[in-house]
Structure 1
Amino acid sequence: MSDSTPLGEFLRARREALKPQDVGLPEHGRRRVPGLRREEVAMLAGVSADYYMRLEQGRESSPSPQVIGAVADALHLDDEATDHLRRLTRAPQERRTLPAGHDQVAPQLLRLLDSWPDTPAFVVGPALDILACNALASALHSGFQRFDNLARMVFVDPEGRDFYQDWDNAAQSCVAEIRAAYGHDPRSPRIIEVVETLSGKSPEFAELWARHHVKGKTRQAKNLKHARVGSLEIQFSAFTVNGAPHQQLVVYQAEPASPTAAAFAELRSPVDDREGEQDQRAAEWIQ
């Protein structure tokens, strides 16, 4: 039987990422499989090898919380990855599927975005689609072909590698964030569409997606480089939208009186039409 379920794919990827010495096991001779063997994970988790095999093959649909915790410990999963594992074991009827109109941003949130002229802010969906943004966020990302999907911008748009100064970290974060959203709704047509399209366009995306790393947006520093105003050092925070948990509000901030704050002020000033040209209504990037 093929390990083709989301749960099986996750367990296998995380098992193969570990080496025996990572979990205190001796390594004897040449191994035919990468990482740990199934029976080794089973032993570490205190379950039978047959039971663990059924988990990876999707034939065990309702593991107990104790088993989930034991498997998470055996695979050295952090809190976010453990939560992801729990979500993957849920029955379909228990999942948070996206309702109709999930990509619509509430009018109150749109007004909030526009009330922050000094702060770039935007709303993203679970597949990192840009659902709404204020004027400064649009100006900040004006070098991209389209300000439409953060993952597309990082992996496919030529501007991505210049704009994101720590490109590797930006790439890993994008994939881990989509993977976290995927755990809530593995059948999401939009997430599947984005993953399939980017996997076909970017081998780097495909490689990172296969690692099954999970991490949601929180807060951290970013180093960006805008073609007109130069290097930017920002802090960003992400907030779940009350009433729309599938949406996140992302806010970029600059230290007061810093070069980045001055750069934001310059971005707010009028820009030469030739410099600001971009076709925001171009054909959809997914064909």
Structure 2
Amino acid sequence: MCEEILAAEDDRLNELGNLLAYWRQRLNPRRIAGVDTGRRRLKPGLTQAEVAMLTGVSLSWYRALEKGKKADFSPEFLQRVALTLRLSEDERVLLFQLALGHAPAPRGLAEDGAVDEDMQKLLDQMLPHPAYISNVSWDIVAHNKPQEEWFPWVPYEPNLMRWAFLYPEAREQLVNWKEDWARPFLAQLRVALGRHPDNEALRRLKEDILRGNPVARELWAEPETIIHPDGHVRRLRLPAHHDEEVSVKIMAMAPLRNMDLRFIVLLRTDV
């Protein structure tokens, strides 16, 4: 019986390695920020080293996962792998099942962000500008097509703050990440926590960010407060723009029916 259990586990880990290699090799490097697209590639997709870099781990640590070696892989690391490899929800569940022996915890989006059909229509009227609606804990609860074209991670990581602080690729896409993005984001988070001290999703968001990002811990010790980013001009470097910098003005609004929702439109200022 023990031998059968070990054999089944070996089969599970071997299947994990095969799937990871397949998922990695089907990616288009030109759609992934932070990847050198100028060099000659002998195989399609990303290399193991590139996936390791994008998920914030050593090559040996990622290689162990792809080789099907048993290790103490954290759910946070596996979630970064799922985003980097652009896995569908079914593929993400399978990744966790094969790597950890169980499915991931439910995403658990906060229930304070219902968006009706008319709000979605309004988002779609913002073309060609990217636009999205986020709730009090920065879950993106609705967005238009340009938003997903500019930020293809949206279907895989619905929380804007988690992506900005916990995924290495964000530092490639958010120009002057520490000062122009991380610092204002944390200042907004501090205000939101002050307004909603009993909001479990916000408290968990803060804990995840400070635990997972040392720069965030450093900045959190310098208390700053910002209510909203309306009118701020910031820069992006995205695969959708061939990694050329673009400048955007953030237009931040809120529907009167739910002032905790943020209706954000990104207006390019360099065209």
2:253 is the alignment partner of 1:239: yes
Query: Which ranges in structure 1 are unaligned for 5 or more consecutive residues?
Result: 1-99, 260-287
Q: Quick one: distance in 1 between partners of 2:124 and 2:240?
A: 23
Aligned CA distance change for structure 1 residues 197 and 141 (closer, same or farther; 3 Å): same
2:119 is the alignment partner of 1:109: yes
Q: Secondary structure at the match of 1:245?
A: coil
Query: Paired residue for 2:171, among 144, 161, 165?
Result: 161
Q: Following TM superposition, by how much is the alpha carbon of 1:135 offset from its aligned partner in structure 2, in angstroms?
A: 0.6
- 1:71-220 matches, within 5 Å, as 101-142=111-152, 146-168=156-178, 169-217=180-228, 218-220=230-232
Q: Quick one: distance in 2 between partners of 1:149 and 1:193?
A: 12
Q: Secondary structure at the match of 2:210?
A: helix
Residues 144, 160 of structure 1: 8 Å contact kept: no
Q: Quick one: distance in 1 between partners of 2:145 and 2:127?
A: 7
Q: Quick one: distance in 2 between partners of 1:137 and 1:226?
A: 12
Q: Secondary structure at the match of 1:216?
A: coil
Supply the AA of the counterpart residue of 2:140.
Answer: I
Residues 234, 252 of structure 1: 8 Å contact kept: yes
2:242 is the alignment partner of 1:221: no
Give the aligned CA root-mean-square deviation in angstroms. Answer: 1.9
Q: TM-score, normalised by structure 2?
A: 0.54
Q: Following TM superposition, by how much is the alpha carbon of 1:220 offset from its aligned partner in structure 2, in angstroms?
A: 1.0
Aligned CA distance change for structure 1 residues 144 and 137 (closer, same or farther; 3 Å): closer
Q: Quick one: distance in 2 between partners of 1:155 and 1:200?
A: 10
Deviations 1:58-93 (A, max 9, x none): xxxxxxxxxxxxxxxxxxxxxxxxxxxxxxxxxxxx
Aligned CA distance change for structure 1 residues 144 and 112 (closer, same or farther; 3 Å): closer
Q: Secondary structure at the match of 2:254?
A: strand
Supply the AA of the counterpart residue of 2:224.
Answer: H
Supply the AA of the counterpart residue of 2:256.
Answer: N
Query: What is the total number of aligned residue pairs between the two structures?
Result: 158
Q: Secondary structure at the match of 2:156?
A: coil
Q: Secondary structure at the match of 1:219?
A: coil
Q: Give 1 or 2 for the bigger CA radius of gyration.
A: 1
Q: Which moved more, 1:207-216 or 1:189-198?
A: 207-216
Query: Which ranges in structure 2 are unaligned for 5 or more consecutive residues?
Result: 1-109
2:266 is the alignment partner of 1:252: yes
Supply the AA of the counterpart residue of 2:174.
Answer: Y
Q: TM-score, normalised by structure 1?
A: 0.51
